[in-house]
Amino acid sequence: MTKSSSITPQEKRLTFSFPKELDPLRIPEHIAVIMDGNGRWAKAKGLPRAMGHTAGVDALKTTLKLCSNWGVGALTVYAFSTENWSRPGEEVGFLMTLFKRVLKRELESLKLQKVRISFLGDLEKLSSELQDLILEATTLTAKNTGINFNVCTNYGGRRELVKAAQRLALRSVNGEIDPALIDENVFAAELSTANEVDPDLLIRTSGERRISNFLLWQLAYSEIYITETLWPDFDENALIKALLDYQSRCRRFGGLKHVSKDKRNLEI
- Which part of the chain contacts ligand FPP (CB under 6 A), choosing from 38-46, 138-146, 235-243, 244-252? 38-46
The correct pick among 22, 47, 96, 102 for binding ligand FPP (CB under 6 A) is 102
Q: Map residue 148 onto helix, strand or coil.
A: strand
The correct pick among 31, 32, 33, 36 for binding ligand FPP (CB under 6 A) is 36
| Helix, strand and coil percent figures for the chain, each rounded to 5 | 45, 15, 40
Sign of CA dihedral 252, 213, 41, 57: positive
Q: Residue 40 or residue 159: which is nearer to ligand FPP going by CB? A: 40
Q: Residue 27 or residue 42: which is nearer to ligand FPP going by CB? A: 42
Closest separation between CB of residue 57 and ligand FPP, Å? 5
Indicate if 262 belongs to the active site.
no
The correct pick among 84, 131, 260, 265 for binding ligand FPP (CB under 6 A) is 84
- Which part of the chain contacts ligand FPP (CB under 6 A), choosing from 52-60, 125-133, 140-148, 154-162? 52-60
State the distance between the two ends of the chain, measured CA to CA, in whole angstroms.
30
Q: How far apart are CA 33 and CA 77, in angstroms?
A: 5
Residues in contact with ligand FPP, shown as a per-residue x/- string from 163 to 202 under the rule CB under 6 A: ----------------------------------------
User: 12-22 in b/e burial notation, b at 16+ Cβ within 10 A?
Assistant: ebeeeebeeeb
> Which of 84, 144, 213, 265 is an active site residue?
84
Instruction: Return the H-helix or E-strand segment holding 75.
Output: strand 74-81
Residues in contact with ligand FPP, shown as a per-residue x/- string from 209 to 248 under the rule CB under 6 A: ----------------------------------------
User: 168-202 in b/e burial notation, b at 16+ Cβ within 10 A?
Assistant: beebeeeeebeeeebeeeeeeebbbbeebebbbbb
Indicate if 36 belongs to the active site.
yes
Q: How far apart are CA 230 and CA 106, in angstroms?
A: 23
Give, as ranges, the residues between 133 and 162 that touch ligand FPP (CB under 6 A). Answer: 151
Q: How far apart are CA 113 and CA 117, in angstroms?
A: 11
Catalytic residues: 36, 84
Residues that bind ligand FPP (CB under 6 A): 35-40, 53, 56-57, 60, 79, 84, 98-99, 102, 151, 206
